[in-house]
Amino acid sequence: MENQFIIKGGTPLNGEVVVGGAKNSALGIIAAAIMTDETVTIDNLPDVRDINVLLEAIEDIGATVIRENEHRVKINGSTINDITIAYDAIKKIRASYYLLGALLGKYKRANVALPGGCDIGSRPIDQHLKGFRALGATANVEFGMVNTYAVDLIGSHIYLDVVSVGATINIMLAACLAKGRTVIENAAKEPHIVDVANFLNSMGANIKGAGTDKIRINGVFKLHASEYSIVPDMIEAGTFMVAAAATKGDVLIKNVIPKHLEAISVKLIEIGAKVEEYDDAVRVYSDKRLGHTQIKTLPYPGFPTDMQPQIATLLALSEGTSTVTESIFENRFKYVDELARMGSTIKVEGNVAIIEGVAGFTGAAITAPDLRAGAALVIAGLVANGFTTVDSIKYIERGYENFEKKLTGLGASIEKIPVDDEEAVQKFKLKCS
Ligand code: UD1
């Protein structure tokens, strides 16, 4: 049965919230974990749909997966007996492509269905394939599958034509077990690239320079057991930062790496919110309507595309005219029509959203078009006057663990109820009155 969120807006968020492990790190790390025949323990795993689908996919090909609790898993790749990942197993997640790099590195061959994922624009994987080919593999797309094969993987010098998180991680995975030295130039620098590299190094890989645009990998013969804890999720943290500012609240967001949040903090401060940084927490508060700004999404350390819908929602409520330029994905403004139904004034021209701030939103029945846009619409509902329902929350659940519970803990009125359950709606409304 499909669920939806029902929200009564208007309550400032107040209190403390703890951020979970980074979903995008975890996806790379789970794939990396099958590259050794020894047992790997991963901690601070986010309990979200994308992660659970990937764990099922590696179980399907024979890996042993023991979920010790929702945030800790043991993986053993020695029992893998198949190198083909079918579409049914992974159609819901894009990062299934990491299994290409992981299986190719370990077994020198892999067949993985072309990934799905959020529909935020065309998402080619040519740079991944270019990297595999540079390492000496064949890589072809046939009948919806990506098939790769190598007699031997040989280290190589690879220059990425576009800065790609996925291609950087995928090539890093395969190159770890290649013969000799690989250099990835124009590599992506996102914190989760550093996290996956640290994890691989903890398994005996030899990777240097992750977090810069030049990553150097000396291939090793094999990888070994490791115990590793995933870094905090910067996008979950950023989402709560924006939610705190949008609701004119005061929230201490714990278990974060403030450095990863700088691009978000700087923009919030620029428009008038208060941001205090601690060792592993940030406090965001505001008691007034915020101002306007210009934002352009860029690879890290620029403003993250995964925070674009959330910040645009905040700017839609701020004073004056803002512009948000999306330079990574071309189809990431689909939430704008939903926001318009709540009273926003946003015009999209090409990859630029021109936002005329309005004084407030009013509640409406809206639908989440994708993961981050879904989170943005929940923020809109938290601010709106009256009741909002957000449908298609399966997207939000791909990347946010206990989103509604964490928001309730901050004083929000939000509940997960079945779609079309009029009785549940009435009960919620009664509770809020
Ligand atoms: C990752 C993140 C996603 C985030 C995105 C950008 C994961 C699982 N997902 O996605 O949440 O929004 O980074 O920060 O970590 N491109 C090519 N050819 C390629 C690969 C990419 O042209 O072979 C282009 C894409 O179309 C896009 C840009 O490069 O315009 C960046 O994409 P990329 O960094 O690869 O995004 P993902 O790894 O898919």
Q: What is the mean pLDDT of each run of 10 residues along the chain (433 residues)?
A: 95 98 97 98 96 93 96 98 84 83 97 71 84 97 91 97 96 98 98 98 98 98 98 98 98 98 98 98 96 98 98 98 94 94 97 97 96 97 97 95 98 96 94 87
- Note whether 241 and 208 are same-domain residues: no
> Among positive and negative, which fits the CA dihedral 19, 45, 117, 402?
negative
- Note whether 286 and 396 are same-domain residues: yes
pTM of the model: 0.97
Cα(30) to centroid(ligand 1), Å = 18
Residue 366, pLDDT score: 97
The CB of 164 under 6 Å from ligand 1? The reply is yes
The CB of 162 under 6 Å from ligand 1? The reply is yes
Count Cβ atoms below 10 Å from residue 221 Cβ, excluding itself: 7
- Note whether 219 and 276 are same-domain residues: no
218: β partners: 181, 206
Reference 74, options 87, 89, 88, 58; nearest CA is 58
Residue 360, pLDDT score: 97
Give the HSE-up count for residue 328: Cα atoms under 13 Å, Cβ half-sphere. 20
Strands 145-149 and 157-159, bridge-based pairing: unpaired
Termini Cα distance of the chain: 28
The residue whose CA is least distant from atom 4 of ligand 1 is 306
* Total number of domains constituting the chain: 2
Among 172, 207, 229, which residue terminates a domain? 229
Cα(117) to centroid(ligand 1), Å = 11
Asked if residues 417 and 38 have their Cβ atoms less than 8 Å apart, the reply is: no
- Note whether 204 and 248 are same-domain residues: no
Cα(37) to centroid(ligand 1), Å = 29
- Note whether 270 and 198 are same-domain residues: no
CATH number for 37: 3.65.10.10
Residue 344, pLDDT score: 98
Which residues, other chains included, contact 196 with Cβ-Cβ below 8 Å and sequence gap of 6+? 25, 28, 29, 32, 169, 172, 173, 210
- Note whether 143 and 193 are same-domain residues: yes
Reference 216, options 207, 205, 224; nearest CA is 207
Reference 312, options 339, 331, 288; nearest CA is 339
Separation CA 286–CA 284 (nearest Å): 7
Which residues, other chains included, contact 225 with Cβ-Cβ below 8 Å and sequence gap of 6+? 36, 38, 39, 40, 203
> Among positive and negative, which fits the CA dihedral 361, 362, 363, 368?
negative
List active site positions: 118
Among 197, 229, 261, which residue terminates a domain? 229
- Note whether 245 and 191 are same-domain residues: no
Angle (CA) 218 226 47, round 5°: 115
- Note whether 31 and 13 are same-domain residues: no
Angle (CA) 41 45 46, round 5°: 165
| Full residue range of the structural domain in which residue 236 is found | 3-20+232-432
Cα(95) to centroid(ligand 1), Å = 10
Reference 243, options 397, 7, 14; nearest CA is 14
Asked if residues 96 and 90 have their Cβ atoms less than 8 Å apart, the reply is: yes
> Among positive and negative, which fits the CA dihedral 220, 221, 225, 230?
positive
- Note whether 223 and 372 are same-domain residues: no
The residue whose CA is least distant from atom 21 of ligand 1 is 164
- Note whether 28 and 61 are same-domain residues: yes
At residue 127, what is the residue type? Q
Among 229, 264, 291, which residue terminates a domain? 229
The CB of 53 under 6 Å from ligand 1? The reply is no
Question: Which ligand 1 atom sits nearest the alpha carbon of residue 127?
Answer: 23
The CB of 115 under 6 Å from ligand 1? The reply is no
- Note whether 238 and 191 are same-domain residues: no
- Note whether 94 and 219 are same-domain residues: yes
The CB of 324 under 6 Å from ligand 1? The reply is no
